[in-house]
Structure 1
Amino acid sequence: MVGSVFRHDLKWNDDDGDIIKVGAAVSVGEQPIKGLVNPEAGARMTIAECLTNLVFAPITDIKDIKMSGNWMWAAKCEGEGARLVRACTSLCTGLKEIGCAIDGGKDSLSMAARVDDELVKAPGTIVLSAYVGCTDINKVVTPVVTGDMTLIHIRMDGSSAFNRLGGSALAQCFGQIGNNCPDVDDFTSFVQIFNMIQHLIKNGTVQAGHDISDGGLITCLLEIAFSSNIQLECSASSETDILQFFFAEESGVVIAVDNADVNEAIECLKRGGASPVVIGYTEARYGPDAHVRIKYNGLVVVHEPLNVLREIWEETSDRLGTYQTTSLCLEQERKNRMSTRLVKYYCNFDYNFETHIWDESYFTTAPNIAIIREEGSNGDREMAAAFAYAGFQTFDVAMTDLLEGHTLAPYKGIAFVGGFSYADVLGSARGWAATIQYHEDVSRQFKDFYSRRDTFSFGVCNGCQLMTQLGWIGEFQEEANVFLKDNTCGRFESFFGPVLIEKTPSIMLKDMEGSVLGLWSSHGEGRFTFKSSEAYGSLKPFVALRYVNSEGQVTEEYPWNPNGSIEGTAAICSKDGRHLAMMPHSDRTFMTWQWPSYPLNQPGFQSNKERIALSPWSKMFRNAYEWVRLND
């Protein structure tokens, strides 16, 4: 799997005083099959793939890119040492032309094994991992197209002279490798075109984009259609053989621009030495209403419903899924995949507020909250950030601090963070709960905190599992009535999907009821179960969140309900509303850039441009702040 990752961190003011959110962009490139045909070309195509994966994040400068180089080669076998030298020489020459540098890496040069009487060699492989500063994470471009747009095909070598099939996915399908593979003949042109695409991304012209790699141009176009769930039409003309045109894996990208910006984008790219070609269009028809039509030299070569093509694409994953999950979950996923158009989000409240974390008074007047973590916890930083932006002064409190005598008395709130305490060896949060319940002083501290009328608590994921073990939700019980069991799919789930906010006494979800918002789920044991039907009935008025499908209907079906909880249960609060246990991660969704695709065009969504781009989930943390102020 090859792709890119973006880390979001710092903020600074630009010349106009606006807040710029910067971070780091990371990408990976590898082309071992092309290296079988030609080790020099394989090395150059590895560089190209690494950079075309990186180009869709606005970066500081191409010369700022640093790379880690990992070599996997059967170098001790006859002829392989020479091939390794050829690849390394080509790699060094290419990077010098670009101005990038490798600053580390590792090698595994014994990638061969004897099986019976046969020597089995791994393909000689270079894996490049690049990293560089990202100037504005809000301008990172993904393959997801929204609405009617024009698709432009750009070859990174500036020409269309070659359409080589050696080392391609198509050749592999026919049991071949080939003898003439794609290559980058001129990195000078590559850099110029790279920089021009960067310019179009930074000025907001490019709305979406995807690199051409394994599978060629047709696969790139289909991946855009699948990820966007949108109708796509492609029309191309060329004297090149149709298979070479669509399946050659020459380095390139496809970008999506608004229809009104096409001429500007093409002229700009031509000034950078590119030969851009309008390759197709997207139309705002989604899911079962969408089709993919591809014409070549006036003839329709593909005209199928989007769902039909996507099911062919998903077949391999579904077959692997039979070894990983249940047949029922696979069938539910397939059914929902076929029926989904657009996910309908809805926000019915105002979530803009003035935060005071830049004011000097913040450190003297802000209420205190303890961000509590245990061995194996990993969600403390995002939890602290969510409460800090809401106005709290956050304190990192490890369980060892409490065991050594640290007190909870100074805190108005505590937050139990997500993660995998004690690696879930005893079951989710059981070890963490035992640390509290079976230590006399620590147990007393938590009971005293729970009983204070001016305090609140919040637990996410592993913290939610802990709160159910402690009996802090619903009406306090010495013996827990709620249990979190393995997901019905039988595996860990990382999933972004919609939840419905119910009307409950929860202080953190006040005035948010009725909204449907997206949340990250990240757990293996998240299925809410209850001691009895009576126990569920008594807790039903305190169910604060429910998983819903793309139409906003409460569901128990996979994947919209990632764990199979009864009636979509995703969060439960205490009877007085001061304590809230939530399985999905609002702490990882309280900023707009934490969403995979932020639905600005859906009802009620807005952006706080003055300070920072806060999502609707920021309100629940602000609600806690306002409740503390009111009850102080």
Structure 2
Amino acid sequence: MLINAEKGARMCISETIMNLIWAPITDLKDVKMSGNWMWAAKCDGEGARLVDAVGSLCRGLREIGCAIDGGKDSLSMAVTAHGELVKSPGTLVLSAYAPCTNVTKVVNPALTASAESRLLWIKCGGEKNKMRLGGSSLAQVYSQIGDDCPDIEDFSEISKVFSIVQGLLLQDQIVGTINKPMILAGHDISDGGLITAILEMAFAGNVSIGIDIKNPYEEMSSLDLLFAEECGIILEVSCPDDVIKRFRDSNVQCQMIGFASDSYGSNAHVKIHVDGKLEVDEKLVDLREEWELIGDKLGQFQTNTNSLKEAKKVRENCQKITYKCDFDWFYETSFIYHQQYFSTAPRVAIIREEGSNGDREMASAFTLAGFQVFDVTMTDILSGHSLVGYRGAAFVGGFSYADVLGSAKGWAAGVLFNERVSKEFENFRSRSDTFSFGVCNGCQLMAHLGWIGDHDDEEEVRKPTVFLDENECGRFESSFGPVKIERSRSLMLSGMENSILGLWSSHGEGRFTYSSSLNLKNLKSNGQICVRFCDDQGKIGSDYGSQRLPYPWNPNGSVEDVAAICSRNGRHLAMMPHSDRSFLTWQWAESNDVPWNTRFDQQNVALSPWIRMFRNAYNWCKE
């Protein structure tokens, strides 16, 4: 934008489309955008530049066939400070959206390192023989702006690439007995250019790469080729010859540039050649630490220093996560479409409070397991709604009362300090035919209520013995990682023990603590510790002679890596990480890597092993 406002607007369109390309949508013409302008329009010359940029945007959108249906303008982006006029650079932000036809086919940037896969570089939209460095990240590193920046001379070529990729997303090929996607990973070329896109894909996949790029342009340096931010994409494909033919048949530049191999973590290496000349020869972990440097510096302002050190050590040695699942979990789900089924299905109350946000995920999981699901708010219960007719209660995640009193304390107060509501909850808990499940904020609630912990289930007054304190890392943690299911009394986790599965964690106060060390000892001896955080090899802290795993394998610092606890009778389960956000394969961050992902390609629901715990609750109710 600083070099040429018209070119900047066109490049903004192209990058928006190249970010949307990885999700299958109905049609490119269904794409709508929100356009947000930030510009010092009242300053000399800036109003004219803005007019040029808007005109360029409108023409580009007409050519590609998309439309803007909303947005906002901030046109006073200038201030006088100490007698000097300071202007914000003119900026356009486009947010694109369209109906997604199949969320299970969305592609991420993590290289899979499949044996037969290859990496392809597709360049489109710009002039064939140009790789321009103006306005690039490389120029900024050298405190320059440049005088010639990338541009889109042919929007029809971007439309062609979009159409080809969309077709490939929905197409599989048979490798042995397995259906494999044609596109295994993908990344657009934008900030940092071709080399950055390649390296980020290697970082995400934690794999080795061998790259040899043929420089198609005479008298062009390797620097221009690798760091120019011309429009394009990188693909990892399972059938390279077929894919290359499709692009070349459409007269689109496509070059096979290398492969990824399954040397992981500290053993992974990066070699990049240009025209046979070795330009980069480094360990993956060394390059990734350079890439993480800014994040670590920012982290010093919000994260415990020891946690940052632990995370760095983990990055240096992490391998591909080894998931393990020895139990069967798939079953026919078509019954949920038969209305007569619901008249006899057990009922579960999805209980939420002001500020809760996980009710729909929880409702979906229990519905797919066979339950009649009911949305029950605390306002309903305060107004007299009874829990008598329910077999199960699910306390959802979120931030009840914005956690201003501490996590779930406001929610717990609404139960404990209302005599009728407190009795309603206690009657439900003490019935022998009921179960409950609390996740995240719901887990914190169950701890406050004393539904889990080191006490007899028959005690009428149960003082809390389990508490959820602030994460040891000192900040809210949102991450996906492995957990190990222990042998326990929990009815919901029956038959799932010794499995290593992935879960989302999303909390600021998730560190399990206890009123005394004896409490933890009793919980362990009674079989009430149900789930623990583990590392990429399925090991917990005690396997290394430590009280806990390092951050981020253990995201909150719980002693002995505890992630879930149940009541002594096994009917009430409280879990900090979210199985309600992980019961479908496409919800997993590493969904391409799990061994069961291809099993259900032809099924209407791509269930992950976590559905078993919800189905366990259903079977318990029926039996």
Pair in the same fold by TM > 0.5: yes
Cα shift at 1:284: 1.3
Distance 2:346 2:321 in 1: 37
Percent identical residues: 55
1:248-263 to 2 correspondences below 5 Å: 248-258=228-238, 261-263=239-241
Cα shift at 1:331: 0.9
Question: Is the CA contact 2:307–2:473 (under 8 Å) kept in the aligned structure 1?
Answer: yes
1:143 counterpart letter in structure 2: P
The whole-number CA distance in structure 1 between the counterparts of 2:171 and 2:7 is: 33
> 1:281: Cα distance to partner?
1.0
Worse overlay, 519-528 or 138-147: 138-147
5+ long unaligned stretches in structure 1: 1-34
Aligned to 1:626: 619
Q: Which of 325, 333, 337 matches 1:358?
A: 337
2-side partners of 1:91 and 1:621: how far apart? 50
Q: Measured at CA, do residues 282 and 508 of structure 1 come closer, stay the same or move farther in structure 2, by a change above 3 Å? A: same
Contact preservation (8 Å) 1:287, 1:307 = yes
1:210 maps to 2:187:
yes
Q: Residue in 1 aligned with 2:538? A: 552
Quick check: 1:191 aligned with 2:177?
A: no
**Aligned-residue offset at 1:354:** 2.3
Q: Is the 8 A contact 1:346 1:604 kept in 2?
A: no
1:182 aligned partner, one-letter code: P
Query: Number of paired residues?
Result: 594
1:243 maps to a residue whose letter is L
Shift in Å, 1:78: 0.6
Offset at 1:135? 1.4
Q: Deviations over 1:13-56 (max 9, x none)?
A: xxxxxxxxxxxxxxxxxxxxxx1100000000000000000111
TM-score (norm 1): 0.92
Is the 1:158–1:275 Cα contact (8 Å) retained in structure 2? no
Aligned equivalents of 1:199 and 1:605: distance in 2? 19
Following superposition, the deviation at residue 297 of structure 1 comes to 2.1
Distance in 2 between the 1:71 and 1:146 partners? 38
Farther off after superposition, 204-213 or 188-197: 188-197
- CA–CA separation in structure 1 for the residues paired with 2:486 and 2:307: 26
Q: Distance in 1 between matches of 2:42 and 2:101?
A: 44
* Residue aligning to 2:565: 572
Secondary structure of the corresponding residue to residue 192 of structure 1? helix
Distance 2:212 2:442 in 1: 53
Q: Helix, strand or coil: the match of 1:466? A: helix
Specify which of 266, 270, 282 is matched with residue 288 of structure 1.
266
Unpaired runs of at least 5, structure 2:
173-181, 542-547
* Distance in 2 between residues matched to 1:466 and 1:384, nearest whole Å: 18
Mean Cα deviation higher: 190-199 or 45-54 = 190-199
* Correspondence list, 1:229-628, <5 A: 229-238=206-215, 239=218, 240-258=220-238, 261-355=239-333, 356-474=335-453, 475=455, 476=457, 478-540=462-524, 541-555=527-541, 556=548, 557-598=550-591, 602=595, 606-607=599-600, 609-628=602-621
Among 228, 232, 235, the residue aligned to 2:205: 228
Greater than 6 Å deviation, 4+ residue runs: none
- 1:115-168 CA distance string (max 9 Å, x none): 111111111011111101111111111111212321110012276311000000
Q: Which whole-Å CA distance do the structure 2 matches of 1:405 and 1:175 have between them?
A: 67
**CA RMSD in angstroms, aligned pairs only:** 1.3
Paired residue type of 1:574: S
**Partners of 2:56 and 2:416 in 1: how far apart?**
62
In the alignment, structure 1 residue 201 sits paired with structure 2 residue 201: no
How far 1:304 sits from its partner (Å)? 0.6
Cα distance change on mapping 1:529 and 1:231 into 2, 3 Å:
same
Measured against aligned partners, the alpha-carbon deviations of 1:460-503 in whole angstroms (never above 9, x if no partner) come to 00000000000001334621111100000000000100111011
Deviation of 1:610 (Å): 3.5
TM-score of the superposed pair, with normalisation by structure 2? 0.94
Q: Distance in 1 between matches of 2:617 and 2:275?
A: 62
Find the aligned partners of 1:519 and 1:263 in 2 and give their Cα distance.
Answer: 37
Q: Does 1:150 align with 2:143?
A: no
CA–CA separation in structure 2 for the residues paired with 1:331 and 1:112: 40
Shift of 1:604: 10
> Contact 2:112–2:593 (CA<8 Å) still a contact in 1?
no
The answer to whether the Cα contact below 8 Å between 1:464 and 1:581 also exists between their aligned partners in 2 is yes
